[in-house]
Amino acid sequence: MGDNEQPSSIKQEILDKIAALITAAFGLVAALAWNDAIKLLFKELFGTQDQVGPMIAYAIFITIIAVILTIIVARAASKAKNIIVKTYSCKLCDFKTQVESELMEHNVKDHAASQDKFLSK
């Protein structure tokens, strides 16, 4: 299992990191939008008046977009992980593995005694 496990786990790690970086980027954009809106709000309350309403609307809009895109990225990363990690299941019992040769060995050991149940490719 050692040779097959390492590349799959590296691919999963890369997908996790890419998804985390994209999510962080969306968070940064939303934070910057809120930063400008809050600055204008303080100017409105304590000093000069600028366009507070449009900046708050923009910050809310960017936050909603960032949340939606974050959900999309998380789902895409989850689907990609499921593609990378293939699970082999025995059709005669509940045995599952990620290594095809283990499934074949299981079938020979546990199901070969009765030829009518033996699975062959």
Same-domain status, 25 and 62: yes
- The confidence score (pLDDT) of residue 63 equals 86
Same-domain status, 15 and 60: yes
User: Can you give the residue range of the structural domain that contains 97?
Assistant: 85-115
Q: Under 8 Å CB-to-CB from 57, ≥6 apart: which residues?
A: none
Tell me, yes or no, whether 72 lies in a domain: yes
**Entry pTM:** 0.49
- Which of 58, 72, 60, 78 shows the shortest CA–CA distance to 22? 72
pLDDT tens, position by position, for the chain (121 residues)? 444 445 567 887 888 888 889 889 988 988 888 888 877 777 777 665 567 777 778 788 888 988 898 899 888 888 877 777 677 888 888 888 877 788 888 878 887 755 555 555 4
Same-domain status, 46 and 102: no
Same-domain status, 95 and 57: no
Distance between CA atoms of 84 and 67, rounded to whole angstroms?
Answer: 26
Residue owning tokens 């609307």? 57
Same-domain status, 74 and 23: yes
Same-domain status, 67 and 110: no
Same-domain status, 97 and 80: no
Q: Which two tokens stand for residue 106?
A: 């299981």
- The confidence score (pLDDT) of residue 9 equals 76
Number of domains in the chain: 2
